[in-house]
Amino acid sequence: MSALNLYDTATREVGVFKPLQPGQVSIYVCGATVQAAPHIGHVRSAVNFDILRRWLIWSGYDVTFIRNVTDIDDKILQKAVIEKMQWWALAMKYERIFNSAYAALNVMPPTYEPRATGHITQMIELMQTLIDNGAAYAPGNGDVYLEVRKLKRYLTLSGQKLDDLQPAADVDAGASMKKDPRDFALWKAAKVGEPSWPTPWGAGRPGWHLECSAMAHTYLGEAFDIHAGGLDLIFPHHENEIAQSEAAGHKFANRWLHNAWVTQSGEKMSKSLGNTLQVDVILQRVRGIELRWYLGSAHYRSMLEYSEAALDESAVAFRRIENFINRATELLGEQPTPVVNDAFCAAMNDDLAVPAALAGISENLRLGNQGITDSDLTIVAKAASEIRGALQILGCDPLDQNFAQSAPANVNEALDGVIHLALKERTAARERKDFAASDAIRDGLLELGITIEDTAQGPRWSMTEKS
C-alpha cells in the first residue's frame, strides 16, 4: 500500500506523512465556539477531519484526537446578554446542540474534549513562562500581551508581513498600553459584570488564542502530529497559537491541515452575512447520513458551494448506493463484509482524495447492479463489500447502527407498514388482473417519491427524488 501523503499549510506542499511516534498519531482540531447553533459550514470541518481520523485508524494507527470547546469569549458574553442567560448556561446549551449535530452526522466523539474554562491554570502557567522568557508583558492594568516583534517566525503560516498588518481591532481601554498595536492579548482584564479568574497580573479572562495552545500542550505535549481547522482560522488564530507556543519553547504542531469553506452564492457561510443554514433545519430536509455524504463528497481543501438542488442531487445519489447495499444484503442473505480495495486506498493516501474514491464507488455500483440483473451473486458480493468498506471510512455506512435511529423507530415502522399494505393491495389487484388499480397504486406511490421494483422475491420499495 502506498504511503499517506497530506498537504501541509505551512509548507504549501503535499508530502509523506510520518508521525512523530511510530504507530501513533496525535491530532488537535479547533472545535466550536458555543455561542449559537451550528450551521453546515461549522460541521463540514468535523466531517472532513472525522474522515481523516477514520482513515488513520483503518491504516493501523492509534489516534489521539482532541477537539476543544471554547466556552468563554466575547461572542458568548454578548449572546448571553441578548438571550438573558448566564454565560455558562448559554455555552452549555449550544455545546449540547453542537454535540447533537455531530451525532446526527456520525462524527466520532473525540478522545478528549477539553473546555477552555477547565484549563485556566494551564493558561496562567503558559503566560508566566512567556513573561519569564521576555516574550510577553503585563502593562499593569490586568491585561497580558504577546510582543510580536520579538518573535522569530511570526506569520509563516499565512505568509503575511508584520508591517502590512492592520493593528488588532482592540476595543478595550487597555489596548493603548500595548508596546506595538499589533501585539495580541493573551489575557483580558476583568470588566464589571463579566466572569473573571485571578492571576498574578490581575483578574480577567483568557484570550481566544491562549486557550488552544494551553489545551493542546496539556493533552498532546510539546509537539504533536497534526493541527487542523477551518481555512478562516489560519490568521489570526493559528498564527497566534504558533507564536505563543513556540515563544514558550514548545515545538507545537508538526503539520497543519485546513478545510475550505461551505459557500453560498460565492460567499463564505457566516452569521454576519445572514446566510446561515443550521444543521437542525437541513436535517428536516435530508437525513443525517445524506447530509454527511454531501459535506464529505468534495475534497477537504476545495470550496463547497451549497444549493438546495445540489444537496437534493447528492441525497438521491446516495440513496441509489444505499438501495444497492440493502438489495445485496437481501440477495446474499447476510450483510456484505467491508473490504477496502487498492483504488480506494490510493485515493485516500493522495491527500484524502475523496472525489476519486467516490468514482470507484460509482463504478462498483454499476458492476453490482449489473450483477443483480445477471443473477451473478459473486459480482454482487464483491461490489457490495468494496462499497461498504469505502462507506465505513467515509462514515456513511447505511448498515451502521449509528444511523438506525435517524428517525423515531415508530415512524419508520409505521411508514414501512403503510407501504407494505399498499403493496399488498397492488399484488391483489395484479392477481385479479385489475391492472388499472395496480398501476394507480404504483403511480400514487411514485408521486410520493416511493419507487416500486418487482423482483423474483416479490415487490420492493425505495425512496427516490419526487418527480
Render 380-411 in DSSP notation, one character per residue: HHHHHHHHHHHHHHHT--TT-GGGTTSS-HHH
The 10s digit of each residue's pLDDT in 338-373 is: 999 999 999 999 999 999 999 999 999 999 999 999
Backbone φ and ψ of 16, nearest 5°: -65, 130
Output the pLDDT for position 271. 63
pTM: 0.86
- Mean pLDDT, residues 76-98: 96
Of 441 and 188, the structure prediction assigns the larger pLDDT to 188
For residue 172, pLDDT over 60 is answered with: no
CB atoms within 10 A of CB 322: 23
Per-residue pLDDT band at 465 (split at 50, 70, 90): low
Cα 355 from Cα 83, distance rounded (Å) = 42
Cα 388 from Cα 396, distance rounded (Å) = 9
For residue 61, pLDDT over 90 is answered with: yes
Percent of the chain with pLDDT over 90: 78
| Grid cell of 10 as nine digits | 505551512
Which amino acid is located at 409 in the chain? A
The 10s digit of each residue's pLDDT in 230-264 is: 999 999 999 999 999 999 999 999 999 999 999 88
The 10s digit of each residue's pLDDT in 100-120 is: 999 999 999 999 999 999 999
Output the pLDDT for position 100. 96
What angle, 0 to 180 degrees and rounded to 10, lies between the N-to-C axes of helices 288-296 and 308-332? 110
| Angle, CA of 215, 301 and 228, to the nearest 5° | 5
End-to-end CA distance of the chain: 44
For residue 17, pLDDT over 80 is answered with: yes
The 10s digit of each residue's pLDDT in 276-305 is: 689 999 999 999 999 999 999 999 999 999
For residue 467, pLDDT over 50 is answered with: no
Cα 149 from Cα 365, distance rounded (Å) = 57
Output the pLDDT for position 175. 66
| Grid cell of 112 as nine digits | 478528549
For residue 51, pLDDT over 50 is answered with: yes
Q: Which residues pair with 304 in a beta bridge?
A: 262
Per-residue pLDDT band at 200 (split at 50, 70, 90): very high
Which amino acid is located at 418 in the chain? V
Which domains, from first to last, does the chain contain? 5-259 (3.40.50.620), 304-403 (1.20.120.640), 409-463 (no CATH)
Contacts of 14 (CB under 8 A, 6+ apart): 5, 6, 7, 8, 351
Q: Are strands 24-29 and 223-230 parallel, antiparallel or unpaired?
A: parallel
For residue 464, pLDDT over 90 is answered with: no
Of 176 and 94, the structure prediction assigns the larger pLDDT to 94
- Mean pLDDT, residues 152-163: 92
Of 45, 51, 5, 137, the residue nearest 392 (C-alpha): 51
Q: Which residues pair with 60 in a beta bridge?
A: none
Per-residue pLDDT band at 168 (split at 50, 70, 90): low
Of 402, 400, 358, the residue nearest 102 (C-alpha): 402
Output the pLDDT for position 409. 40
Task: Check whether the bond before 236 is cis (ω within 30° of 0).
Answer: yes
Contacts of 363 (CB under 8 A, 6+ apart): none
Furthest-apart CA pair in the chain: how many Å? 92
